[in-house]
């Protein structure tokens, strides 16, 4: 995934700007029996948030440039040398760094870093989470699932695809780029062609799918993508994020339908009361306090019909939500009895 991180690596190499706005302290922690070494960058004032900065792929040391820039914006950042790199112990996995075993180990390292960040004396009560790039798209969700105290997650160019899909997409993107260089007017593969190619290629036996970890999370998360990323299947990742949101929506409101229907019903009823109040004021109160009578171009009858429609729909939806809530409770009770019968 080296292509996706080239631009950000340039940022990492830039010296921190306005360094006087932040300070740094060394931090060491253990993960899976190995000592890892890092740096905690603290803003000058009270931090608004704190985060562990997770590497992309490659032999990456602590990302002090980016960490300093974020600290200058009020975010405390813990960045560390990857396992087997720099001053961190352990062995760097360079042969197959997207194996399930290695990604799980890197997630353990990130979770250990988060524990060190969360218990730091200067960060008591500060919301903490994970930030990362590229390969962190697989690592951060696994680490966040291990960290009940995590409050957010932010990823730049983080894949929502399996490791096999990302690998084959990268190969296709490189092939398409080389073909475009040789054929100036050659058409690029369409999104449908890319999807068919990614779906048809072989899969690793230990394929890692980040959706399994993302589905366990209940925290705000942000993914940032570039439209022409040559390493990450952006369209596939966005589509899968939409699918995850849809599943979450359906699961939430299938268990608590009153939240959807009752809330919508109450909102419509409240809007109807607001329209009725405005109509009464314009029709009766406005002239009584000395203003000239105001008559809308359409008259007041359409406003009366609108109030009747909003109130009717509001109470119908509220009633539907109450009935659906009872049905959901009965369904859950039957499911519990069915499990007990087994």
Kindly report, residue by residue over 149-197, the tens digit of the pLDDT: 999 999 999 999 888 888 888 777 766 555 444 444 445 566 676 667 7
pLDDT digits (tens, 9 = 90+) for 234-276: 888 888 899 888 887 777 777 778 888 888 999 999 999 999 9
Q: Are residues 76 and 200 in the same domain?
A: yes
Predicted local distance difference test score (pLDDT) of residue 175:
63
Whether the pLDDT of residue 277 is over 70: the answer is yes
Q: pTM for this one?
A: 0.71
For the cut 70, the answer to whether the pLDDT of residue 5 exceeds it is no
Same domain as 107, residue 55: yes
Domain count, the chain: 2
Cα 282–288–290 angle (5° rounding)? 100
**Mean pLDDT of the 52-57 span:** 92
What confidence score (pLDDT) does residue 41 get?
Answer: 95
Tell me what the mean pLDDT of segment 58-76 comes to: 92
Residue, of 300 and 28, whose pLDDT is higher: 28
CB 220 within 8 A of CB 152: yes
| Residues 6+ away with beta carbon under 8 Å from 168 | 197, 198, 201
Banded pLDDT at 20 (limits 50, 70, 90): low
57 and 180 assigned to the same domain? yes
Per the model's pLDDT, the better-predicted residue between 143 and 14 turns out to be 143
Any idea what the CATH number is for the domain that residue 23 is in? 3.40.50.1820
Q: Pick the last residue of a domain from 188, 221, 255.
A: 255
Say which range, 48-57, 113-122, 139-148, 332-341, has the weakest mean pLDDT: 332-341
Q: Which residue has the higher pLDDT, 5 or 319?
A: 319
120/149 same-domain check: yes
The residue among 220, 239, 255 that closes a domain is 255
The verdict on 133 and 66 lying in the same domain is yes
Structure tokens at 237: 């990742």
What pLDDT was estimated at residue 13?
A: 39
% of the chain residues with pLDDT over 90: 43
What pLDDT shows up at residue 188?
57
Give the pLDDT score at 102: 94
Q: Are residues 142 and 224 in the same domain?
A: yes
CB-based contacts of 152: which residues, under 8 Å, 6+ apart?
Answer: 49, 51, 127, 129, 130, 219, 220, 221, 222
Q: Verify that 281 and 239 share a domain, yes or no.
A: no
Residues 233 and 295 both lie in one domain: no
- Residue 183's pLDDT is 44
Q: Are residues 91 and 202 in the same domain?
A: yes
> What does the H/E/C string look like for the chain?
CHHHHHHHHHHHHCCCCCHHHEEEEEEEEEECCEEEEEEEEEECCCCCEEEEEECCCCCCCCCHHHHHHHHHCCEEEEEECCCCCCCCCCCCCCCCCCCHHHHHHHHHHHHHHHHHHHCCHHHCCCCEEEEEECCHHHHHHHHHHCCCCCCCEEEECCCCCCHHHHHHHHHHHHHHHHHHHHCCCCCCCCHHHHHHHHHHCCCCCCCCCCHHHHCCCCCCEEEECCCCCCCCCHHHHHHHHHHHHHHHHHHHHHHCHHHHHHHHHHHHHHHHHHHHHHHHHHHHHHHHCCCCCCCCCCCCHHHHHHHHHHHHHHHHHHHHHHHHHHHHHHHHHHHHHHHHHC
Domain hosting residue 316, numbered range: 257-341
At residue 214, the pLDDT reads 92
215, 302: one domain: no
pLDDT(16) > 90: no
Contacts of 165 (CB under 8 A, 6+ apart): 159, 198, 201, 233, 236
284 and 223 within one domain: no
pLDDT at 220 over 80: yes
d(CA 163, CA 180): 26
Highest mean pLDDT range out of 9-13, 90-94, 164-168, 197-201? Answer: 90-94
Residues 202 and 122 placed together within one structural domain of the fold: yes
Specify the range with the lowest mean pLDDT, choosing from 15-29, 35-49, 78-92.
Answer: 15-29
Distance CA 105, CA 108 (A): 5
Given a cut of 60, is residue 12 above it in pLDDT?
no
Last residue in a domain, options 193, 221, 255: 255
Distance CA 123, CA 9 (A): 28
In the β-sheet with 128-133, what is the strand arrangement from edge to edge?
A: 22-31, 34-43, 75-80, 49-54, 128-133, 153-156, 221-224
Binned at pLDDT 50, 70 and 90, residue 342 comes out as low
Per-residue pLDDT of 105-117, as tens digits, reads 999 999 999 999 9
């Amino acid at each position: 995934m080296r292509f996706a991180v080239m631009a950000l690596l340039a940022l990492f190499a830039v010296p921190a700007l306005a360094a006087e706005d932040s300070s740094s302290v060394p931090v060491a922690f253990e993960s899976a029996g190995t000592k890892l070494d890092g740096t905690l960058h603290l803003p000058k004032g009270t931090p608004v948030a704190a985060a562990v900065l997770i590497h992309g792929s490659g032999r990456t040391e602590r990302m002090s440039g980016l960490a300093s820039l974020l600290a200058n914006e009020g975010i405390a950042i813990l960045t560390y040398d990857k396992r087997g790199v720099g001053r961190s112990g352990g062995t760097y996995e360079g042969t197959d760094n997207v194996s399930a075993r290695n990604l799980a180990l890197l997630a353990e390292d990130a979770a250990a870093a988060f524990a060190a960040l969360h218990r730091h004396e200067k960060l008591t009560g500060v919301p903490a989470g994970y930030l990362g790039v590229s390969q962190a798209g697989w690592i951060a969700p696994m680490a966040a699932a291990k960290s009940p105290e995590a409050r957010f997650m932010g990823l730049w160019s983080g894949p929502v695809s399996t490791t096999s899909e990302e690998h084959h997409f990268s190969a296709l993107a490189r092939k398409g780029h080389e073909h475009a260089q040789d054929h100036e007017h050659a058409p690029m593969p369409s999104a449908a062609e890319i999807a068919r190619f990614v779906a048809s290629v072989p899969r690793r036996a230990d394929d890692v799918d980040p959706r399994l970890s993302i589905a366990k999370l209940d925290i705000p998360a942000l993914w940032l993508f570039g439209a022409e990323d040559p390493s990450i299947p952006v369209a596939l990742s966005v589509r899968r994020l939409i699918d995850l949101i849809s599943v979450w929506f359906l699961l939430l409101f299938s268990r608590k339908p009153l939240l959807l229907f009752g809330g919508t019903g109450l909102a419509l009823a409240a809007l109807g009361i607001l329209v009725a109040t405005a109509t009464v004021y314009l029709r009766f109160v406005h002239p009584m306090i000395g203003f000239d009578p105001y008559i809308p171009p359409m008259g007041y009858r359409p406003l009366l019909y609108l109030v009747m429609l909003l109130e009717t729909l509001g109470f119908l939806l509220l009633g539907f939500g109450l009935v659906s809530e009872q049905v959901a409770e009965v369904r859950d009770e039957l499911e519990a009895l069915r499990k007990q019968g087994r």
